[in-house]
A and B are shown apart, each in its own frame.
Chain A
Amino acid sequence: MSEPRRSNVTRWVALGAGLVLVAVVVAFATQIGGEPAVNRPSPLLGKDAPAFDLPVLDASGEQVSLDALRGKAVIINFWNSWCIPCREEEPNLKAFYEAHANDTDVVMIGILRDDTVSSGRRWADERDLDWMLVEDPGGKAALAYATRGQPETYAISTDGVVVGSQLGPVTVENLEALLAAARGTA
């Protein structure tokens, strides 16, 4: 049936729909331009570093406990043998480790993530990775540090607090900045 009166309701509905549409478009446009997830700081920053007590990768039977490292600046790197970015950052880790090999207040630990122990061992042997490498049975340490992949690197201060993090491959400059944060000299 025809209705001769064009009511304002139609206009308000159209206005409301337009408003919602603009809001959605702005939301997605802002998201695309937002800070990438890789640069987003870890929610663990400023919190006590999750404790771990992990077996050394070389099958020596030794364990590495974070609690035992209290008083030292600790750099933790999650890695594995098959990830391409881990290979990209490996020379930087080596250079950093060699630069601080004689610093008694610094410990660098590589935690094997999402990989078999045998592959990790082989890779470490072939590449002469000299820093402390540990297994992560059940992926509990990777979970406790809220890792989303590998590589990921964390700086732990001398009093056991997470003070820095880097998602994705690190440069030597990144590592030095993380160490400065861990030492409290940043």
Chain B
Amino acid sequence: MNVLGRRWAWAMLGMVVVATLAWVAWPQDGESAEERAHRIASELRCVECEGLSVADASTSTARATRDEIDERIEAGESDAEIRQAYIDRYGERILMNPTSSGLGVIVWVLPVVVVALGGAGVAFAVRRRHGAPRNVATPADEALVGAVADRSRGEPHAASRTFDGDPLLDERDFLLRSLDDLDAEYATGEVDAETYQVLRADYTARAASMLRGLAGDDPPPDSEPSVSWQRRALVLGVVVVFAGVAGVMLAFALGARLPGGLPTGDDLQVSPDEREQRLRQAVADNPDDPSAYLALASFLEGEDIVGALEAYDTAARLDPADPVPLAQAGWLLFFSATATDDTEQRTALLEGARERLDAAVLADADYPDARFYRGMVLYRGYGDAEAAIPELQRFLVLAPDHPLAEQGRDVLAEAVAASN
């Protein structure tokens, strides 16, 4: 390809890159408010989770944040204004991706610099490989190198010439071995005749020059000037200091990481594993404290239903007067019952739920959650609307502002309609 052609190729490549970046970065048209809210939520970090965005998390704070984003969109705030509101509140760490200003720029610039350096290195190597002028060997060069090579082949370790630490001897041995390799490649057809001739002349000329330098006839060509240990130490020191400063700056940009935290610098107070470990330790330290089992059960509800149920049952056994563990265990069993298609298993789970909820109401007739759960089990589980109605009514009287009150009213209305 000629020079003009190469320039066109580079220009085309540049245009493709710019067009791709523009397409990716350009605001998408036709985005609904819901899609916009989801996109913004996915840019914000869930502060109570590990590596999850607000869009993906189910914690109370994530839910509240999603609600707030909806309100802000409805109020007409721009994406930038909404993002800034959370940055003001939590700092830059709230963003899933660091900003491209301040110290955060390091995170963006460093990979670009690395890729640019790598690309430049590769381009330089290719250019040098293909563009470096080749030497031409004279008959005297051929004779000198041939004699040394023949002599060298007679040495006991010729087949495995190794570098011995002297840069000039290493260079000589390397060139001689390269000649042998080139001959072998030509013999096997890996190198065409023209390339073989050019490379052989080049290697031979350089090897001859090197041999003359070693013999004291000429200064060795292309030999690198010896570098003093002071200079090496200086370069090494500069590299280490530069790397250290870059590392510290990067660390400041990412923030502190707690032992056990994620290498991505997630801003976590306590990881779920650590929290579970603490709760289990609390149970082990206080085996007679029902509240310790209650706290563990509450934590396990999302991931380990059997473990949660065992902990609730233990808490109920330790404090039979407390309706909370009984009610929670009953509710868990009810949920498990609704999730199974096995009739026999469903019946057993429902009976277990009802048994615990009856005990919860017996322990405290005014505990609203137990009334709600029992009403749900009776109506949704057993289809007994008439039995469910007084439970749900009692629940709404006891706790009209309960978070489940709205659901309670809906189910009560359904049950009333079904009983008529």
Which residues does A use to contact B, with CB under 8 Å? Answer: 1-7, 9, 12-13, 15-16, 18-20, 22-32, 34-38, 40, 43-44, 47, 55, 59, 82-84, 87, 113-114, 116-119, 122, 138-140, 142-144, 146-149, 167-168
Contact = CB atoms under 8 A, between A and B. Distances in A.
A138 B64 contact: yes
Interface string B107-132: 00010001001100100110011001
Contacts of B190: 1
Nearest to A36: B258
A142 B47 CA distance: 12
Contacts of B298: 82
Contacts of B368: 118
Interface of B is mostly: helix
Contacts of B340: none
A16 B114 contact: yes
B267 A142 contact: no
Interface stretch (B142-150, B212-220, B355-363, B396-404): B396-404
Interface string B238-261: 011011101110110011111100
Contact of B121 (A12, A18, A44): A12
Contact of A9 (B48, B128, B244, B369): B128
19 contacts: A1-B185, A1-B195, A2-B182, A9-B121, A9-B128, A16-B118, A20-B114, A26-B246, A27-B251, A31-B254, A32-B259, A37-B255, A82-B298, A117-B402, A118-B368, A122-B367, A139-B63, A143-B61, A143-B68
B295 A149 contact: no
Contacts of A19: 239, 242-243
Contacts of B59: 114
Interface stretch (B29-37, B85-93, B303-311, B377-385): B85-93
Contact of A28 (B199, B243, B263): B263
A122 B418 CA distance: 34
A168 B369 contact: no
Of A16, A18, A144, most B-chain CB atoms within 10 Å: A16
Interface stretch (B173-181, B331-339, B346-354): B173-181
B181 A23 contact: no
B223 to A, nearest CB: 12
Of A29, A37, A167, most B-chain CB atoms within 10 Å: A37
A82 B295 contact: yes
Contacts of A20: 110, 114, 243
B265 A22 contact: no
Interface residues of B, number: 75
B203 A16 contact: no
A30 B403 CA distance: 45
A115 B310 CA distance: 22
Contact of A27 (B90, B195, B250, B269): B250
Nearest to B257: A31
Contact of A25 (B63, B128, B247, B259): B247
A117 B128 contact: no
Contacts of A119: 324, 369
A12 B292 CA distance: 59
Given A31-B254, A59-B401, 18 more contacts: A1-B182, A1-B190, A4-B206, A9-B125, A22-B239, A22-B243, A22-B247, A23-B250, A27-B251, A31-B257, A43-B89, A82-B295, A116-B403, A119-B369, A138-B67, A142-B64, A143-B65, A148-B48
A12 B114 CA distance: 12
Contacts of B175: 4
B269 A84 contact: no
A139 B369 contact: no
B174 A6 contact: yes
A170 B400 CA distance: 34
Contact of B64 (A6, A34, A37, A139): A139
A4 B195 CA distance: 14
A19 B240 CA distance: 7
A27 B254 CA distance: 9
A1 B188 CA distance: 12
A3 B248 contact: no
A23 B247 contact: yes
A146 B92 CA distance: 13
B106 to A, nearest CB: 9
A113 B61 CA distance: 9
B267 A37 contact: yes
Contacts of B246: 23, 26
Contacts of B244: 22-23, 26
A44 B92 CA distance: 13
Contact of A148 (B125, B174, B269): B269
Given A84-B295, A118-B399, A34 B256 contact: yes
B270 interface: yes
A133 to B, nearest CB: 15
Contacts of A23: 110, 243-244, 246-247, 250
Contacts of B64: 138-140, 142-143
B403 A147 contact: no
A59 B397 CA distance: 12
Of B63, B110, B299, B403, most A-chain CB atoms within 10 Å: B403
